[in-house]
């Protein structure tokens, strides 16, 4: 069993990233963004599930945009191009499932 605690990372920066859990089949990352901050278009080689813990986030996958709020989940297939923008201060969990979980362009 593993237990993770999400820590607030935005006191002295606009974007915070932290690995919160790692296991044989993947990794869980916590990404926190202040309102207006963006993560530019990139790809992840693995399946990814995004869960919004707090705030609102505009998530662009391929040619589609969706606004995510707490309680929503988004799934991306491997190699799907995506980008995001925090519409409010936001905290999201990104669960990457597979052997290769390092994002790239």
Q: Is the pLDDT of residue 73 over 60?
A: yes
Q: Is the pLDDT of residue 12 over 70?
A: yes
Q: Give the pLDDT score at 105.
A: 45
CB atoms within 10 A of CB 104: 8
How many helices (H) and strands (E) the chain has is answered by 0, 9
Burial 71-103 (b: 16+ CB within 10 A, else e): eeebebeeeeebebbbbebbbbbbbbbeeebee
The string of pLDDT tens digits covering residues 29-72 is: 999 999 999 999 999 889 999 999 999 999 999 899 999 999 99
- pLDDT band of 104, cuts 50, 70, 90: low
> What are the CA-CA distances from residue 100 to residues 18, 35, 53, 59 (Å)?
17, 30, 24, 22
Candidate from 57-61, 68-72, 74-78, 98-102 with smallest mean pLDDT: 98-102
């Amino acid at each position: 069993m593993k237990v993770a605690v999400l820590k607030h990372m935005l006191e002295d920066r606009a974007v915070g990233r932290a690995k919160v859990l790692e296991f044989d089949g993947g990794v869980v990352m916590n990404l926190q963004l202040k309102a207006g901050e963006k993560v530019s278009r990139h790809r992840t080689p693995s399946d990814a599930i995004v869960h919004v813990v707090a705030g609102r986030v505009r998530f662009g996958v391929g040619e589609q945009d969706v606004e995510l709020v707490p309680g929503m989940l988004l799934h991306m297939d491997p190699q799907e191009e995506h980008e995001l923008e925090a519409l409010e201060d936001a905290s999201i969990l990104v669960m990457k499932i597979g052997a290769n979980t390092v994002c790239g362009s």
